Structure 1
Amino acid sequence: MERNAEDDFDPNALRFDEASQATRAPPDRDPPDAYRKALGLLVRREHSRRELRRKLDAKGADVTAAETALDTLAGQGYQDDTRFAEMLVRTRIGGGYGPQRIRAELGTHGIDDATVTALFDEAAPDWPELAIDALRRRYGARPAKDNAERVKRSHYLLRRGFDGDSIRAAVKHDFED
């Protein structure tokens, strides 16, 4: 009869041995290098200061080390909230989102209202035209066939963050086509 590894199994060998655990090195719990971690995140894409701080906290970085790292990165020009906000405004406008949604998202990133207003003034988007484009992307060229369909399209634009005037203009334009 052949012997295999299963025959040599001893369930008592799986018991916890405190002595062997005490001699092992503890798992690696060194605080992460906050500067290196933040720079690694910024290499991938722009981040707001608040977003970087949240991610560093989640990685276990010391609060003072994280603040120092963020100050250093901002001083070196690697992290800039205004540049982040410009990027976010451009991408969200291109993605068919309205001003209310963009403003709310920037608020969650800690961007102040004056900066958002200045960015909107600089970009100068035609919100009603963007709402019309969003409807075309979603529903194609076919116009709304009844009032229920117009309400459905209005709610879609509302969820995308468009204001009432832009929604009315887009739905009216859609109805006239």
Structure 2
Amino acid sequence: MQYALRSLGSRMQSRRELLDKLVRRSDPETAEKVVARLEEWGYVDDAAFAEAFVRSHRGRWGRLRIAAELRKRGVSEEVIKESLEEDDSGEAARALDLLERYRWRHRGEKTRMVRFLQGRGFDLGTALEAAENYLRLQEDEENG
């Protein structure tokens, strides 16, 4: 129990992450009991974990990447969907912001911009829209 609390003290974790850590240190039955107790007490909550994860990563990653990372951490599809629905606004604006921050990565080339954004977890439509907006803004600045 102390190991689990110490582990949660360093950062929030999903139920499965904590369970996997505890199983490495004890038997699965004991680990399950500890995690169940911590859930009762409110120390382990996948919904709160997912919301915090989305908030902390939305500036760098798109919806697809965030969802993949949450899946990897054992968060259910329902919880992922709910946490990403709350974050629905501004996906294209965040993609455009990334293009402006990382100009050296794409050098103004549309295909590089789209690949960069897709690598960050933005869908193709959002990446294309952001790249076109970025190029339009650059053109407006030059014509000025």
Cα distance in structure 2, aligned partners of 1:176 and 1:66: 55
Cα distance in structure 1, aligned partners of 2:58 and 2:113: 18
User: Which residue of 81, 94, 99 corresponds with 1:130?
Assistant: 94
List, as ranges, runs of 4+ consecutive aligned residues in structure 1 with deviation greater than 4 Å: none
List gaps (5 residues or longer) in structure 2.
Answer: 138-144
Cα distance in structure 1, aligned partners of 2:56 and 2:49: 11
The corresponding residue for 1:169 is: 129
The corresponding residue for 1:99 is: 63
What RMSD over aligned residues (CA atoms) do the two structures have, in Å? 1.6
Q: Which amino acid aligns with 1:63?
A: P
Cα distance in structure 2, aligned partners of 1:143 and 1:64: 54
1:66 shift after superposition: 0.5
Residue correspondences, number = 136
The higher radius of gyration belongs to: 1
The corresponding residue for 2:141 is: none
Residue 38, structure 1, aligned to residue 7, structure 2: no
Structure with greater contact order relative to length (CA < 8 Å, sep ≥ 6): 2
Residue 78, structure 1, aligned to residue 43, structure 2: yes
**Retained in 2: the 8 A contact 1:143–1:174?**
no
Structure 2 length normalisation: TM-score?
0.88
CA-to-aligned-CA distance 1:14-57 (integer Å, 9 cap, x gap): xxxxxxxxxxxxxxxxxxxxx11111111111000111111122
State, as a whole percentage, how many aligned pairs show the same letter.
Answer: 32
More helix per residue: 1 or 2?
Answer: 2
User: Which residue of 153, 156, 163 corresponds with 2:113?
Assistant: 153
**Retained in 1: the 8 A contact 2:65–2:122?**
yes
